[in-house]
Amino acid sequence: MDRSNQTSPVMGFILLGLSAHPKLEKTFFVLILVMYLVILLGNGVLILVTILDSHLHTPMYFFLGNLSFLDICYTTSSVPLILNSFLTPRKTIPFSACVMQMFLSFAMGATECVLLGMMAFDRYVAICNPLRYPVVMSKAAYVPMAASSWAAGITNSVVQTSQAMRLPFCGDNVINHFTCEILAVLKLACADISINVISMVVANVIFLGVPVVFIFVSYVFIIATILRIPSAEGRKKAFSTCSAHLTVVVVFYGTILFMYGKPKSKDPQGADKQDISDKLTSLFYGVVTPMLNPIIYSLRNKDVKAAMKNLVCQ
């Protein structure tokens, strides 16, 4: 029977989160709050030093500044909602707020996929064509590259969110998640979601598959170039400029591919059931990854450390 004929349209949603595990809620509230503060501090400091220190006005640090700002926006779109859900007995969210949170999270995630691909290209040019690097990666090139990453992510989010919100929602309004995650929301629709699933598969190919292939090919050339460097010290120095980016790529894409690589249509037998491990994986992607990015990629970088020291001493 069509659920749209049974009840009135949903005006808001209930976020289930970890409500079945109240002890875990208290533990994760403290843990996620600390992680969120680290995200704000680490990424905020990185943005500040890349703006204020002229030595960091290069394509690599420009992209890093964008990545840090993106991580702050992404976590801010979801973490306050998660923290509130851990403290509030009735974890409700209005329909409009759910749409906005879903749009921001989806936009930031898609943008980061593209941005990591742009950063791989930057490392490819720096190592494989160092003499042409100032010309290829000029300001006239890397600024539009970053802007196009944002534009692509936002456009994709507009498409996916608008398609989801055109669906009728009625009956069940319990989202078995911490936030308004798009797949969890789609399961509550009282209409066929096959078009949404196809659209998400296409988006996955474009924003997951294409950047992953591009990054892989870039690193094939990068590694081949590094292996041709005669001195061990030279090889070590060249690889050190890429190892952090490669680590971030593995953490980010490894988690997101596990979560979103295979969109699922709604399950009428258990629309509200989701294993707790899937929720914790989502939490890892949404909180831990943005926290690790500045630590892995930037705060352990000698140039950034020197810039921070100069900033403090001024």
Strand, coil or helix: what is 175?
strand
Q: How far is CA 39 from the centre of its chain?
A: 13
Return the pLDDT at 47: 92
Q: Is the pLDDT of residue 11 over 80?
A: no
Pair type for strands 92-94 and 12-15: antiparallel
- Selection from 8-22, 40-54, 160-174, 177-191 with the highest mean pLDDT: 40-54
Return the pLDDT at 119: 94
Domain contains 269:
no
* Model confidence band, residue 138 (pLDDT cutoffs 50, 70, 90): very high
Sign of CA dihedral 140, 56, 220, 43: negative
- Lowest average pLDDT, out of 7-21, 56-70, 244-258, 259-273, goes to 259-273
Q: What are phi and psi of 229, to 5 degrees?
A: -70, 125
Residue 105: other Cβ atoms inside 10 A: 23
Domain contains 1:
no
Q: Which domain holds residue 177?
A: 15-260+277-305
153 neighbors 248 (Cβ within 8 angstroms): no
- Number of domains composing the chain: 1
19 neighbors 175 (Cβ within 8 angstroms): no
Domain contains 4:
no
Return the pLDDT at 186: 85
208 neighbors 256 (Cβ within 8 angstroms): yes
Show the tokens assigned to 132. Answer: 């042409």
**CATH number of the domain to which 178 belongs:** 1.20.1070.10
Average pLDDT over residues 6-33: 76
* Model confidence band, residue 4 (pLDDT cutoffs 50, 70, 90): very low
Domain contains 60:
yes
Q: What one-letter code names the amino acid at 120?
A: A
- Selection from 130-144, 173-187, 264-278, 285-299 with the highest mean pLDDT: 130-144
Q: Is the pLDDT of residue 1 over 70?
A: no
Residue 87 to residue 159: CA distance in whole angstroms: 33
Residue 240: other Cβ atoms inside 10 A: 11
Residue 226 to residue 239: CA distance in whole angstroms: 7
Average pLDDT over residues 106-125: 93
Average pLDDT over residues 155-179: 85
Q: Is the pLDDT of residue 155 over 90?
A: yes
Sheet of 174-175: strand order equals: 92-94, 12-15, 174-175
- Lowest average pLDDT, out of 28-37, 170-179, 241-250, 270-279, goes to 270-279
CA dihedral (253, 256, 260, 262) in degrees, to 10, reads: 40
Across the chain, mean pLDDT equals 83
Q: Which residues contact 187 (CB under 8 A, 6 or more apart)?
A: 266, 267, 271, 272
- Selection from 18-32, 88-102, 128-142 with the highest mean pLDDT: 128-142
Domain contains 267:
no
How much of the chain exceeds pLDDT 90, in percent?
33
**46-95 pLDDT per residue, tens:** 899 889 888 888 999 899 999 999 999 999 988 988 888 888 777 788 88
Nearest to 22 by CA among 93, 88, 92: 88
77 neighbors 105 (Cβ within 8 angstroms): yes
- Selection from 27-31, 187-191, 285-289 with the highest mean pLDDT: 27-31
Average pLDDT over residues 261-289: 61
How many residues would you count in the chain?
314
Domain contains 254:
yes
Return the pLDDT at 161: 92
Show the tokens assigned to 136. Answer: 């290829």
**DSSP state, residue 174:** E
Residue 297 to residue 306: CA distance in whole angstroms: 15
Residue 5 to residue 14: CA distance in whole angstroms: 21
Domain contains 196:
yes
Q: Which residues contact 153 (CB under 8 A, 6 or more apart)?
A: 107, 108, 109, 110, 111, 112, 113, 114, 207
Average pLDDT over residues 142-152: 96
Domain contains 44:
yes
